[in-house]
Chains A and B, each alone.
Chain A
Amino acid sequence: MARFQLRSVALTITFVLGFLMIVEYFISFKSINDLAANIRDAATVIIGLASIVGVGNITRNHLRNISRRGDNWIPSIIMLVSVWIPLVIGLLGTQNHPIYRYVFVNLFNPVGNAFFAVLGFYILSGAWRAFRVKSLDGTVMVLCAALIFLKNAPVAGYLWSGFNDIGAWIMNVFQAAGYRGIIIGVAIGSITTGLRILLGRETGYLAERRGGQE
């Protein structure tokens, strides 16, 4: 019963605040605009502190993994250490604490950098194995990819300016046209989904165990 009432309160909040944000955009009425601005300011605090759930989930799942000696239980210890030690140092000593900064600059930064750089190697292997001229669609895709790579390599444009011109045309016109259709389609979809959320037809965000869709 209490959970049902909480759910109703949550759905009412969603409806009221959501439509307030939309309506406020179209009217110029100081008290409503100020109220909406204050709600937005307060919401930034709540959104930021939602990361508590992330830390809690990581802690719970990896403690369980360690206690059961599951797969990768040794890295799970590293996970918990790399969450809680920086967290304690950061909360007690702020992010400007020397140890916190040292770990960020000398460990976190190179790991993050190297992580994303790995994809560069797989881009090369994908170009070798997967990009095949087998059909008209494949030909367009491969040609566009090759020409954009040559546009992005300045020396190619220096050797023949045509690479720059063709690459610029593909980016500014050909693929921009395709992306515009995608942007419009995605926007229509997001408005539809947004309306479903505000009207309470989509409740997955409430994290109820019995599922969220009506």
Chain B
Amino acid sequence: MISVEYVLFGLCAVAIWSLLYRENLAYRIAEYFYVGFTAANLLVQAWESALKIAWTPVTKGNHLWILPLILSIPFVLFFHRKTRSLYMIPIAVVVSVGTGLAMRGAIHADIVGQVGASMKSLIQPGPWDNSFNTAVLTIGSFATLSYFLFTKEVKGALSKVPRVGRLFIMAVVGAAYANTGTGRLANYSGILLNLLKTDAVYIAAGALVVIAVDILRRRAKKKP
């Protein structure tokens, strides 16, 4: 008995991966479905969360909690020309709270924490590589930072510092590329495992046949 769930899995995976052969309607439909459902899921989850966080206390007598729900009404009114401006109020709340929290966090975590970690003594106890690694971390951090500071053109001997920073940035790019590749190939491995080891293999085989027929058809058209 063929599993409907795995056949659906195969159809979805093949629809998206058909992009690798060429752009087609199946891919576009799957893409639009993904975007649409993402938006729907976000709102469904947010609504359930809003009911728990705000409506539950209202039902228990804490009526002040109706305020966030009232403040969210302008999101619906956003789509009418005359009431659109009311949107500014809830968005100001959202942006201000988020910005304030992000700023206070960035100061401590990203500046104090990271700069502090860079300012260790270059002579570290233990094996020689402790000191070497600390030196590389310290020099690399400040050289990279100097690459991004555009307050004044750097000339002469100091111009080598951003140049060194650029090498560290190239290492960042290379490592990011490799780790991104690992991650995406991990997803790919999971899809392929299910395409080959479950009932989805019939869909995969069918897709290969369709591609082969399309290639032959295009070649036949090209011949004079």
Contact = CB atoms under 8 A, between A and B. Distances in A.
Interface of A: 2-3, 6-7, 9-11, 13-22, 25, 39-56, 58, 60, 72, 74-76, 78-84, 86-87, 90-91, 94-95, 100, 103-108, 110-121, 123-124, 126-127, 131, 136-138, 140-149, 152, 169-188, 190-191, 194-195, 197-198, 205-207
A43 to B, nearest CB: 4
Contacts of B87: 53, 207
Nearest to B35: A79
Interface residues of B, number: 113
A144 B53 contact: no
Given A6-B89, A52-B76, A72-B28, A177 B140 contact: yes
A150 to B, nearest CB: 9
28 contacts: A2-B85, A10-B89, A14-B95, A14-B96, A17-B100, A18-B97, A40-B97, A50-B90, A79-B36, A82-B33, A83-B40, A106-B9, A118-B184, A120-B188, A131-B177, A152-B182, A170-B175, A177-B139, A180-B118, A181-B141, A181-B165, A183-B114, A184-B110, A184-B145, A185-B145, A188-B111, A194-B99, A194-B100
A140 B174 contact: yes
Interface of B: 5, 8-9, 12-13, 15-17, 19-20, 25, 28-50, 53-54, 65, 67-69, 71-72, 75-76, 78-79, 85-104, 106-107, 109-111, 114-115, 117-118, 133, 136-149, 165-175, 177-182, 184-185, 187-188, 190-191
Nearest to B136: A173
B79 A13 contact: no
B174 A52 contact: no
Given A9-B89, A180-B144, A78 B75 contact: no
B178 A177 contact: no
Contact of B97 (A39, A80, A117, A172): A39
A10 B92 contact: yes
B148 A113 contact: no
Contacts of B136: 173-174, 177
B140 A113 contact: no
Nearest to B178: A148
A54 B42 contact: yes
Contacts of B48: 94-95
Contacts of A14: 92, 95-96, 99
Contacts of A169: 133
Nearest to A41: B53
A149 B171 contact: no
Nearest to B90: A46
A3 B171 contact: no
Contacts of B145: 181, 184-185
Contact of A187 (B93, B106, B146): B106
Given A145-B178, A174-B168, A47 B94 contact: yes
Contact of A181 (B16, B85, B143): B143
B166 to A, nearest CB: 6
Given A87-B43, A121-B188, A187-B111, A137 B94 contact: no
A166 B99 CA distance: 40
Given A22-B104, A45-B54, A91-B47, A177 B25 contact: no
Contacts of B72: 45-46, 49-50, 52
Nearest to A114: B16
Contacts of B142: 181
